[in-house]
């Protein structure tokens, strides 16, 4: 049996990645289950897995699973807690273990220690990182396996809104640059800005008349059409799922040159992290575009994802790592 393991209490990049991976494995008709190390009430991923008829296990059922894992099983862990536990199971139960590294930010305190332990026990597992920058921080062998979209939707040819609609999608925190986003919105009073997400810096929202906060959104599928441009002013990234999903829906992305964003986004639409304030000129540039010019950018964004970041392009690598004939 193949198990996808994660320790999760909300919905972010790891959860979005696990959902896309689950959909990809399901389509290959491989038996598998998603395993949550803890039970979070009303977790958004529970509903999304239920909607897609994907089996999952939560605590305390998870602990019974630990006793049944054997050498025929494959564990693919995401996040430091599940990765460390999975490697312990490999030592005790002789199962095959793969781990994926998602964290691109600089950590401090207890989290920094756990992530250090995660990296320095990685010799016990087959390892993937979602960006080359993250891979470079792993002291043992690690392969880059970028995030992907399981199923690219058909291209929707549409017009941009009369008033440019700019979006921020993700956790409201220092690393993701929600403070930068709000400062940029303040410089563009005639443009409408949207925030989809929640987090520890949600208190920064409130005094910006051209910013609409939608709160945490479990599934952006029906919300992308509200946007003409996605802004990613992050201080650190891997390869953000929000960028992939936006471009798969024909929405251009601008932002800081962090993680593997330059592999996805046209480098002309990115700035160095220390020059993030220049993004205001990029916003103004998109605001001044004709509908035809914006549609060309929309089509380019879609083609970039459809050509290089589909699930099928990742499956051969994953199947080999899983030893799929043995699962």
CATH number at residue 105: 3.40.50.2000
Collect all residues with Cβ–Cβ distance below 8 Å to 186 and sequence separation of at least 6: 208
At residue 2, does pLDDT exceed 80? yes
Q: Are residues 183 and 263 in the same domain?
A: yes
Closest CA to 260 of 239, 244, 241: 239
Q: Are residues 201 and 140 in the same domain?
A: no
Residues paired with residue 229 on neighbouring β-strands, in sequence order: 166
The answer to whether position 224 is within a domain reads yes
What's the number of domains the chain is made of?
A: 2
The answer to whether position 156 is within a domain reads no
For residue 178, count other CB atoms closer than 10 A to its CB: 24
Averaged pLDDT for residues 265-292: 96
The answer to whether position 280 is within a domain reads yes
Could you read off the pLDDT of 254-277 as tens digits, one per residue?
999 998 999 999 999 999 999 999
Q: Report the relative pairing of strands 211-215 and 56-57 from DSSP bridges.
A: unpaired
Q: What's the token pair of residue 265?
A: 């986004």
Could you read off the pLDDT of 7-16 as tens digits, one per residue?
887 787 888 8
Q: Are residues 231 and 301 in the same domain?
A: yes
The answer to whether position 213 is within a domain reads yes
Alpha carbon distance, N-terminus to C-terminus of the chain: 5
Predicted confidence at residue 104, as pLDDT, reads: 65
The answer to whether position 60 is within a domain reads yes
H or E segment and range at residue 192: strand 192-196
pTM over 0.85: yes
Q: Are residues 21 and 11 in the same domain?
A: yes
Predicted confidence band at 293 (pLDDT cuts at 50, 70, 90)? very high
CA–CA distance, 293 with 284 (Å, rounded to integer): 14
The answer to whether position 76 is within a domain reads yes
Q: Which range marks the domain in which residue 275 is found? A: 165-308
Least confident of 64-68, 119-123, 248-252: 64-68
At residue 188, does pLDDT exceed 60? yes
The answer to whether position 234 is within a domain reads yes
At residue 160, does pLDDT exceed 90? yes
Collect all residues with Cβ–Cβ distance below 8 Å to 46 and sequence separation of at least 6: 56, 58
Q: Are residues 133 and 248 in the same domain?
A: no
Q: Are residues 269 and 243 in the same domain?
A: yes
């Amino acid at each position: 049996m193949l198990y996808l393991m994660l320790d999760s209490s909300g919905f972010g990049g790891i959860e979005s990645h696990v959902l896309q991976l689950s959909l990809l494995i399901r389509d290959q008709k491989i038996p598998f289950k998603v395993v949550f190390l803890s039970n979070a009430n009303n977790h958004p991923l529970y509903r999304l897995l239920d909607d897609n008829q994907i089996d999952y296990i939560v605590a305390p059922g998870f602990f019974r699973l630990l006793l049944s894992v054997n050498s025929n099983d494959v564990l693919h862990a995401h996040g430091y807690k599940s990765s460390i536990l999975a490697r312990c199971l490999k030592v005790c139960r002789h199962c095959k273990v793969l781990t994926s590294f998602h964290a691109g930010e600089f950590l401090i305190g207890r989290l920094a220690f756990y992530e250090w332990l995660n990296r320095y026990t990685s010799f016990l597992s087959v390892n993937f990182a979602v960006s080359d920058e993250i891979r470079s921080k792993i002291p043992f062998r690690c392969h880059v396996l970028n995030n992907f979209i399981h199923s690219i939707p058909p291209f929707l040819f549409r017009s941009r809104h009369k008033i440019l609609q700019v979006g921020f999608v993700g956790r409201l925190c220092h690393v993701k640059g929600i403070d930068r986003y709000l400062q940029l919105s303040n410089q563009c009073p005639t443009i409408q800005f949207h925030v989809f997400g929640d987090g520890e810096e949600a208190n920064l929202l409130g005094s910006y008349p051209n910013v609409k906060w939608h709160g945490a959104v479990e599934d952006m599928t029906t919300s992308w059409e509200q946007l003409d441009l996605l802004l990613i002013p992050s201080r650190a990234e891997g390869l953000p799922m929000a960028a992939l999903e936006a471009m798969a829906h024909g929405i251009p992305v601008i932002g800081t040159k962090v993680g593997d964003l330059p592999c996805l986004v046209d480098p002309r639409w990115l700035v160095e992290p220390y020059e993030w304030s220049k993004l205001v000129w990029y916003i103004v540039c998109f605001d001044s575009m004709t509908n035809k010019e914006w549609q060309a950018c929309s089509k380019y964004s879609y083609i970039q994802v459809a050509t290089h970041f589909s699930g099928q392009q990742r499956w051969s690598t994953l199947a080999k790592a899983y030893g799929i004939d043995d699962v």
